[in-house]
Chain A
Amino acid sequence: MIEAYFVHLAILVVIYLILALSLQLALGYTGLINLGHIAFFAIGAYVSALLTLNGMPFVIAILIAGVVSAFFGFLLSIPTNKLKGDYLALATLAFTFVVYAVTLNWYSLTRGPLGLSGIPKPSILGISFSSNSSFLILTILIAIVTYFVIKKITESPFGKVLESTRDNELATRNLGKSTFKIKSTALATSAFFAGIAGCLYASYITYIDPSSFTIMQLIPILCIVIIGGLASLNGTVLATIVLILLPEPLRFLGFPSSVVGPMRQIVYALILLLILIYKPKGFFGKVELE
């Protein structure tokens, strides 16, 4: 029983890790104040859920989920290319609300507030990942791949261009780089991995509805990325583990479950405020949010 609970927690940590790492690429390395990350998570979850419910094999579904999310990331980057700072934050936040409104209202596709249930657990080449421990192994493998791909990107010459776009966009353009191409590639890649995380979430919980993808869910991830520190992948890993596990003891203090949910949010919101006031660089951050 206790073991099952820890496996469950570990799966959540790893899914959040993929999500946080992908946000780190856009927010930490490229400096895009993207508050629409949850929307890509939602798109990945819905796309893969609809595909697997219609009999599509998991491997293809997860890739399509990533690609569709990446496509929306690219689409979002076109109009928001010239926006900076709080205007970019707001446009991406509005994107979250638009995706939410669509999942809530496109009843024939998403079944609206009823959500999609009975999403199949993954099975790859005849190997079923329906038990939680095997699912954990699968998510860890995907997280490792994500970590190294993002690490590779950030260490490559392209990664340096990302950071120079973040630090001084004008200077980067003067060196003959198309910052639009750079930013949209970064946003699309970041969205790709968020879509993968969404697919894993949907196939693990086996049920999704629009309320799983609101700005409430944005706070923990934002918290993780800022606390771990911008442009620090190891900081993100550490922060994910600490922050996802931190509110868990609340469950054992005997509060009713209707109180535990909001208390988790309070914990995250307070941590976010404290870190912004007292340690705006996070613990391992290389740059400050501007």
Chain B
Amino acid sequence: MSSIALQLLINGLIAGAIYALVASGFSLIYSTNKFIHFAHGATIAFSAYILYFLFSVLGLNFGVAVVLSILFASLLGFAMNFLVYKQLRKKKTSSVILLIASVGLLILLESLILIFFGADVKSIGLIKVSKGMEFLGAIITPMQVTIIISSLVLLVGLFLFMKKTKLGKAMRAVSDNKDVAEIVGISSEKIYTWSFIIGSAIAGIAGILIGLEQNLVPTMGTNLIIKGFAAAIIGGIGSVYGAVLGAFLLGIVENFGIWYLPSGYKDAIAFILLFIFLLFRPQGILGIKRRAEK
């Protein structure tokens, strides 16, 4: 393999790891709640900004700032579910209304970031820009290695959580069949709340890692959720594993795509893939057939 191809593959894996972090939390919320929580992107952006505020502005200890940022993300997810989605669910509103509400929440949170932190680009600046390591002729920075490793650790942790713990099993039960789960004594409302708390904590971790690797801009949440969402659709939206698979696939396709296309079209590749999957295989690669057409 030429070194360009290897570099593109590594870039694809890094992008894929980032998308996987976005997509796994998003998909966890989707699989139990069955609606598209777009504001997940804003949770990621907000936690990155909170880390910036606590660590770079207030000068708190890095570890403390990280823990507080993740807690903040969880709390934000909990609040969105409690204040908005739960109220809508009480009225038995359709998933389209919940989707529109989540777009509203996304815009709301992004505007709050703009007001609190301004439109200019911020950087957390924990790690001085370091020279990348050479790996078989391709360049990778220590931060990027950290991102890939942490996302893998997190994904394995999530897998074990879903398979082994009681809460994880209950989540899968609600995700498979809410009514039957209620009959055996699982409160679906409680599971919704937990899925928001845990899914948003993953968003918090994603925000921190992305914030350390890239600069912070207020609209980063929208860009990330589109990628994470595209990844989830490609891989199969009901399944967390599908979302992770889709994330790495999307990262690699995007980075190899710019071999042929101008690099500005990198983002468009995700939309086009998303569009193709929505039309021809809305259940994704791994997903079980869900009724896209009534």
Contacts and interface: CB of A to CB of B under 8 A. Distances in A.
Given A98-B272, A262-B111, A289 B97 contact: yes
A108 to B, nearest CB: 11
A270 B112 CA distance: 12
B146 interface: no
Contacts of B101: 272-273, 276-277
A114 interface: no
Contacts of A265: 107-108, 110-111
A97 B271 CA distance: 7
Given A258-B119, A259-B115, A105 B97 contact: no
B184 to A, nearest CB: 28
B104 A101 contact: no
Contacts of B272: 98
Interface in B243-268: 262, 264-265, 267-268
B94 A94 contact: no
Interface of A: 33, 35, 79-80, 82-87, 89-91, 94-95, 97-98, 101-102, 104-105, 107, 112, 215-216, 218-219, 222, 226, 258-259, 261-263, 265-266, 268-270, 272-273, 276-277, 280, 289-290
Interface string B97-109: 1011101110110
Contact of A269 (B87, B111, B275, B292): B111
A215 B93 contact: no
Given A269-B104, A289-B96, 10 more contacts: A86-B99, A90-B36, A90-B233, A101-B271, A216-B107, A226-B100, A258-B119, A269-B111, A273-B104, A276-B104
For chain B, the bracket of interface size reads: 35 or more
Contacts of A290: 94, 96
B128 interface: no
Contacts of B282: 83, 87
Given A84-B293, A269-B105, A269-B111, A98 B97 contact: no
Contact of B94 (A97, A266, A270, A289): A289
B93 A89 contact: no
B149 interface: no
Contacts of A104: 264
B286 interface: no
Contact of A33 (B93, B96, B226): B96
B114 interface: yes
A197 B112 CA distance: 29
B100 A89 contact: yes
A258 to B, nearest CB: 7
B35 A86 contact: yes
B108 A85 contact: no
Contact of B100 (A87, A216, A222): A222
Interface of B: 35-36, 84, 87-88, 91, 93-97, 99-101, 103-105, 107-108, 110-112, 114-115, 118-119, 222, 226, 229, 233, 262, 264-265, 267-268, 271-272, 274-275, 278-279, 282, 292-294
Contact of A273 (B105, B265, B267): B105
Nearest to A93: B103
A258 B118 contact: yes
17 contacts: A79-B279, A86-B36, A86-B96, A87-B292, A89-B100, A90-B233, A94-B278, A97-B226, A104-B264, A112-B264, A215-B107, A215-B222, A258-B119, A265-B107, A265-B108, A273-B108, A276-B93
B87 A101 contact: no
Contacts of A101: 264-265, 267-268, 271
B265 A105 contact: yes
A91 B262 contact: no
Contact of A90 (B110, B262, B278, B293): B278
Contact of B88 (A259, A270, A276): A276
Contacts of A90: 36, 99, 229, 233, 274, 278
A276 B100 contact: yes
B275 A91 contact: yes
Given A33-B96, A89-B96, A266-B112, A84 B292 contact: yes
B264 A105 contact: yes
Contact of B111 (A215, A266, A272): A266
Given A84-B293, A90-B36, A272-B101, A262 B96 contact: no
